[in-house]
Chain A
Amino acid sequence: MSIRKIVTFTEDVLIEGGREVAPSARVAVVAAIVKNPWAGQGFVEDLSAGIDANASDIGALLAPRVLEALGAPAQAYGKAAIVGLNGEIEHGSGLIHTLAFGNHFRDAANATTLLPAVEKRGPAGVVFDIPLKHITDATIRSHHQSIEVRINDAPHADEIVIALAAASQGRPQQRLAAFATETK
């Protein structure tokens, strides 16, 4: 695993809709900018060796960091893989869509649901949104949210940005009906 840079990002919302948010709502993101394990190899049919060599290590690195940055129990979470311009979307997907990656976060957060994800390709400085859902019940509508991230100099063409996001609570001023209640 070759990591060039680690980015930590937190956003605290204190006012939304002109009203105080108490306690303030925090979303934390930690991203590792890693070398694409398949860079320069052309079309690699079997990605399993690169996944096995990297995905678990990256998950183990990011999970404790994002929970530390959150500074509170995670109530919602999500993940991201942003592939540099020389790579395949499948490369980023390979690193995050494996239990070897996600279980580090799931176990550390006492979570049970699937991690919602964004996978895209872009240049350094690309803006991406990480979707987050509740850690134990993905139908809890109050916790559907997303966080916008941008890293000025990443990903390089042969890099992948791998990120985890965690939220301390649901959306600020959330007040929608619970899932499926509108059809009763």
Chain B
Amino acid sequence: MSDQGCGIRKIVYYSEEFLLENGSAPAVPAVRATAAAVVANPWLGGKPSDDLSAEVVQFAPVLARKLTDVLIAGLGGVDAIQAFGKAAIVGTGGEIEHGAALIHTPFFGNLVREYFEGESIICFADDRGDAGSTLVVPLWHKNAAATRSHYQTITTRIGDAPLPGEIVVVLGASTGPRPHSRIGDRLTDPIVKADTLGELIS
């Protein structure tokens, strides 16, 4: 299906490469990026009881293919991608459920995992807003979601989208950890409970 046939008005790519953080170069460099597609909401004017599945099957796989292609090209290949996340911003004429439908089913998520060669559940953010809304897209490791060094976010925004009848579907990815990540991991954490902290919180 052509991009226009899928109702894609615009595709936006945004990447950030950190050369310095707090004045020094990260020991492990990383580039974070988002790819966003602005699509017509196929469920405008519907009822809360409507079955959304036919359009999910029709549109979500095309968006997964398109957005993974953009990120793989932008970030230098599948192997370079270590973390991922997803998001949807529904225009004010739509339901939150419309955005969820495009990103929270196997017709999007399973294909993103397959194209990115990842196994983790994909972390996400959903919102509804006007054109120009910002949304923070969470990312975590594509194969080991609890890898704390890879907990990070990237902010997405398109000046003229979503229009009230549109949905912005966003996929995020990173080629590495946070700059200067150094807060340990589950394997190195001490046991922390309220009663072991004593006077600090008593």
User: Could you list which residues of chain B lie within 8 angstroms of chain A, going by C-beta atoms?
Assistant: 3-4, 7-21, 74, 132, 134, 155, 157-160
Contacts and interface: CB of A to CB of B under 8 A. Distances in A.
A127 interface: yes
A161 B107 CA distance: 39
Interface in A126-148: 127, 148
B42 to A, nearest CB: 15
B19 A9 contact: no
B19 A3 contact: yes
Contact of A5 (B8, B16, B158): B16
A170 to B, nearest CB: 17
Interface string A1-33: 011111111111111100010001000000000
A5 B19 contact: yes
8 contacts: A3-B20, A7-B15, A9-B13, A9-B15, A11-B10, A11-B12, A148-B160, A150-B157
Given A4-B21, A148-B159, A14 B11 contact: yes
A4 B10 CA distance: 29
Contacts of B157: 150
A183 interface: no
Interface of A: 2-16, 20, 24, 127, 148, 150-152
B20 A15 contact: no
Contact of A14 (B9, B13, B74): B9
A13 B161 CA distance: 12
Contacts of B13: 8-11
Q: Which one of B15, B21, B134, B160 has the greatest number of beta carbons of chain A within 10 Å?
A: B15
Contact of A4 (B8, B12, B18, B134): B18
B3 A14 contact: yes
Contacts of B4: 14-15, 20
A12 B15 contact: no
Of all A-B residue pairs in the complex, the 5 with the closest CB atoms, nearest first, are: A148-B159, A152-B155, A15-B9, A12-B11, A4-B20
